[in-house]
Structure 1
Amino acid sequence: MSDLPPPTAEPGNAEVELSTIPAAGPLYRRAAIGLAPGFGPARRAARLPDQELVVRGVTVDRDHLTGYDRVCGFRLADALPPTYPHVLAFPLALRLMSAPEFPLPLVGLVHVANRITVHRRIDAAEPLDLSVRAVDLRPHERGRQFDVLCTASVGAEVVWRGVSTYLRRERGAAESTARRERGGTESAGRDQSGDRPAPPAPSALWRVPPRVGRDYARISGDRNPIHTSRIAARLFGFPRPIAHGMWSKARCLAALEGRLPDAYEVEVAFKLPLPLPGTVAFHATPAWSFGLHDARRGRPYLVGVVSI
């Protein structure tokens, strides 16, 4: 998928080993306080930190896993869902991106794409070594992008990899693009003739209630208020809270559960915010492409593909 570039390695990253996974709440508070005049860094770095955060021997809390399965629609099982290591490693990514020296402020970053490679089935009883680093800060027509690379290993064996691409919208970007990302224009998804292509025939219709934002925030640690608060969502240009992109991806993969092999790659592009509440159409093809779109207007929220 052209929306998700391949990861670019940056040699020489210094490994920083932490004794435990950090708590997400204080990191969000630090990021929010850093926006206040006089509290943020006087000048941000021009490049990504040469740093890789590592936590070894992370064990899975079965109650937490059960809660995650229920919020995202996975069956209760001993094998980890393909998106679950992302949740385990997310606080590490949050610590990296909320640091004062990080070149872009955490608040305002948009998660635009995600790729996951599952190398084998991961049993919930296996302790995992998790590592996170940021790479490839690059210009984009709407601002700047970078990738966060996450790895889960069992001993010396890499069993899972994730690549999340984030965008920071900056001045000079086209206004129409910003409106499209907020769902405020009808141009999204149209072809060159100005007509919107007909969306794929839905395999299912899902009613997504408002509590999905709160439930996923609680279980994932991703407590960005645009997912839980109407006031915060409006401050960032959304008429109401929006679903987490990684919840949308997990919910799609839960619908494919039982058909996926033990090893595969799945990548998605997050096209438009999914407003809460909402009714979405899920579609999947035998060729392993899938997606979510607005059930009434056909606007795309997510497009994805599984490679085996």
Structure 2
Amino acid sequence: MSLTTSLTLAREQIPTLVTSFGVALRSMSPLTRPRRVPETPQPIVTRFAAPSDRLVDAYAAWAGAPPERYRDVLPPHFCSHWAFAMLARVGGQAPYDVTSILNQGLRLQLKAALPRGAALQLRGQLQDVSEDAQRVRIHSRVIAGWAQQPEAVIVDSYAAIPKRAAAKAKAAAREEPAFETVGHWSVAADDGLNFALVTGDFNPIHTFWPLARRTKFRGCILHGFGSVARTWEVLADAGHDIADIDLRFVKPLPLPNEGLQVQVAAPDAEGRRAFRLLARDGSVHLAGSFLLR
């Protein structure tokens, strides 16, 4: 990506950066963040300016979509851009430091495609906050639409804040279905920064190598939403027109990474297909299921 293009895209992310940075700053101190979970969380309603065609095209190209796929509409997984600041605001209603929040999972329900060039109406709400010996769990929801279709896309985000003294819980063994590989994708060392430029999520664990090397990951990891975008497009290339997807972020994906396999199982009794993202070493990074239109 050229310097000129990068600067142009970065300028369009300024409103998202200002909002998310402000929420993060307030949540870092017990003096400025909420003291308790609200008994009745109030919805946050706002208008989101229509993303430029330049930004949408750059995002779709990063995700691996052919130009004609989203000529008139926004990619469904472009919620990584328009929902990012809203999810920060919703999470900021809970009495925790949002900079310590880890994405755990995502459900995306598509009622209608979001058109290009239309300002979006966003409604965000804190759905649930629960706590156990291992972590605090936060469930947030953002509903997006426009004047004629106010509930076109529903995004449920599941996040967690691990407790420092908690021991890791051992995952229960599960019987896996038979999977078939339907496609592959790869990411370069600078794809964390490239994804940030088209979404506004400049978290340094994804974008800033000097800091990322000092974390437990020993380097940058790809955004969870970035993994979703690339995986979604491989599924679309394989003929899967997704209406409802529910997934877990199983393991962070180090950058760079090549030869990732997208695998799909046969539909179950309800018509849902299990899928997973598998690295060359056999580790699973995404897992979930989807329902076709």
Give the TM-score band, short-chain normalised: 0.7 to 0.9
Quote the offset at 1:230 in angstroms.
2.9
Alignment match, 1:108:
100
Q: Which amino acid aligns with 2:290?
A: V
CA contact (8 A) 1:110 1:168 kept: yes
Alignment match, 1:163:
156
Is 1:257 equivalent to 2:257 in the alignment?
A: no
CA contact (8 A) 1:89 1:131 kept: no
Mean Cα deviation higher: 108-117 or 55-64: 55-64
Alignment match, 1:220:
199
Alignment match, 1:13:
none
Q: Which amino acid aligns with 1:285?
A: A
Quote the offset at 1:256 in angstroms.
1.9
Is 1:87 equivalent to 2:71 in the alignment?
A: no
Within the candidate set 29, 34, 47, 2:37 is matched to: 47
Within the candidate set 229, 251, 260, 1:272 is matched to: 251
State TM-score, norm by structure 1: 0.76
Is 1:72 equivalent to 2:63 in the alignment?
A: yes
Quote the offset at 1:133 in angstroms.
1.7
Quote the offset at 1:108 in angstroms.
1.3
CA contact (8 A) 2:48 2:82 kept: no
Alignment match, 2:111:
119
Is 1:282 equivalent to 2:262 in the alignment?
A: yes
State TM-score, norm by structure 2: 0.80
Q: Which amino acid aligns with 2:280?
A: A
Cα distance in structure 1, aligned partners of 2:132 and 2:225: 22
For residue 227 of structure 1, give the secondary structure of its aligned residue in structure 2. helix
Q: Which amino acid aligns with 1:113?
A: G
Quote the offset at 1:122 in angstroms.
2.8
For residue 83 of structure 1, give the secondary structure of its aligned residue in structure 2. helix
For residue 152 of structure 2, give the secondary structure of its aligned residue in structure 1. strand
Mean Cα deviation higher: 114-123 or 133-142: 133-142
Within the candidate set 144, 169, 185, 1:152 is matched to: 144
Q: CA RMSD in A?
A: 3.0
Alignment match, 1:207:
186
CA contact (8 A) 2:177 2:265 kept: no
Q: Which amino acid aligns with 1:51?
A: Q
Quote the offset at 1:209 in angstroms.
0.8
For residue 202 of structure 1, give the secondary structure of its aligned residue in structure 2. strand
Cα distance in structure 2, aligned partners of 1:225 and 1:57: 25
Within the candidate set 47, 56, 64, 2:47 is matched to: 56
For residue 204 of structure 1, give the secondary structure of its aligned residue in structure 2. strand
Identity of counterpart residues, as a percentage?
Answer: 21
Alignment match, 1:23:
15
Q: Which amino acid aligns with 1:54?
A: V
Quote the offset at 1:63 in angstroms.
0.9
Unaligned runs of 5+ in 1: 1-20, 178-186
For residue 285 of structure 1, give the secondary structure of its aligned residue in structure 2. strand
Cα distance in structure 2, aligned partners of 1:123 and 1:247: 21
Q: Which has the higher helix share?
A: 2
Cα distance in structure 2, aligned partners of 1:169 and 1:255: 32
Unaligned runs of 5+ in 2: 1-12, 268-272
Cα distance in structure 2, aligned partners of 1:150 and 1:108: 21
Cα distance in structure 1, aligned partners of 2:188 and 2:109: 30
Cα distance in structure 1, aligned partners of 2:158 and 2:135: 13
Cα distance in structure 2, aligned partners of 1:34 and 1:170: 21
